[in-house]
Copies of this chain bind each other. A is one copy, B any other.
Amino acid sequence: MDSQETSQFVRNINLLQLDNDVLFHIGIKAGDQDLRRLLGDVKFVCMGGSASRLKWFAKFIQDELKDFLNSEKEPYNMAKSDRYVLYKVGPVLAVNHGIGVPSLMVILHEILKLLHYSGAQDVKLFRIGTSGGLGLEPGTVVITRRAVNALLEPVNEQVILGKQVRFPTTLDEELQQQLLDCSEDLPTAFGDTMCTDDFYEGQGRIDGAFCDYKEDDKKEFLQKIHDAGVRNIEMESVCFAAMCNRAHVPAAILCVTLVDRLKGDQITLPKEQKEDFEMRPAKLVAKFIKKSLEQHNGEMCSLSSKRTYRNSFASDRICWMLLFMLEQYINNYSF
């Protein structure tokens, strides 16, 4: 199959045959809306588990990017299904993915198709989530170096047509460093992230409905994975990394730790502190996005960084036009 026939985000020649692709879990028909106009300027997709946290994030990023945006309208949920939410704020698309790899995989297929139909370019994807930490102070944001599965392998295993297929979970190292450079006063760490298919037995907790092992077995397991470089455990990273890798999209995973699993299982943070911690990955990504937009504006025209996002592109076009006219003038009237 020739990937040239589709786009960066997808590798599926069959999509060319679909008149009006139904993106079932977000209730959007690709042919029914002008997706190029609505979403063609998306540059950053930010995903997290909970629908209400992503609704909050959409408002938060709107406030953070107010100097770059034309509109102050409250972000609205573009999804027409009740399975996921989808908010567009300037160059940012905020999407929830629910809990676990399958829930994430379903929405990632549809988001990648959405980006494909929208003709978006130079897009980066971020997962901003929560996790259990290992040997870290709760509240630390872990920037994932490698995503590994529950067997410590850097792969996402899928079963396709009855056969097991393994996809590597390679992440963009440059993006990791750029995010770390934005962390400033936020407690941040680099480390491997373990992805499990369960929160209780799957993460060695002893407080699930079932537990056929002892506290010592759990401690030995957690110490073993800590020694192997794992700094936090969550439930989506290998899929997020592998799918973005397949789509050739730079991606990063930033999860705050809500508990140090080397010390306990239960998450007993006071409500305010939990909410404060949950905001940290969003704050870090917001800093990165602002810095990217400022750099983009600065690089293109050295104009004021106070321009709106859309205006920045309009100004870029004027700049290039002036340069082109100047070049023509020099060529025509050169000595």
* Smallest CB separation, A92 vs chain B (Å): 20
Given A99-B103, A102-B102, A108-B209 contact (CB < 8 Å)? yes
Contact A83 B14 (CB under 8 A): no
Contact A10 B209 (CB under 8 A): yes
Query: When chains A and B are docked, how far (Å) is the Cα of A21 from the Cα of B268?
Result: 10
Copies in the complex: 2
Q: Which residues of B contact A10 (CB under 8 A)?
A: 209-210
Closest to A114 in B: B209
* Smallest CB separation, A220 vs chain B (Å): 8
Given A151-B159, A158-B197, A159-B151, A208-B109 contact (CB < 8 Å)? yes
Query: When chains A and B are docked, how far (Å) is the Cα of A201 from the Cα of B156?
Result: 13
Binary per-residue interface labels of chain A (288-327) against chain B in the complex, 1 for a CB within 8 Å, 0 otherwise: 0000000000000000000000000000000000000000
Chain A 178-221 residues near chain B, CB threshold 8 A: 196-202, 204, 206-213, 215, 217-218, 221
Contact A106 B99 (CB under 8 A): yes
Contact A102 B207 (CB under 8 A): no
* Smallest CB separation, A325 vs chain B (Å): 42
Given A106-B198, A160-B202, A14-B101 contact (CB < 8 Å)? no
Contact B11 A101 (CB under 8 A): no
Q: Which residues of B contact A69 (CB under 8 A)?
A: none
Count the A residues whose beta carbon is within 8 Å of the partner chain — how many?
73
Binds B, one of A44-52, A60-68, A120-128, A138-146: A44-52
Query: When chains A and B are docked, how far (Å) is the Cα of A213 from the Cα of B201?
Result: 35
Does A112 count as interface, using CB distance less than 8 angstroms?
A: yes
Closest to A160 in B: B201
Binary per-residue interface labels of chain A (253-278) against chain B in the complex, 1 for a CB within 8 Å, 0 otherwise: 00000000000001110000000000
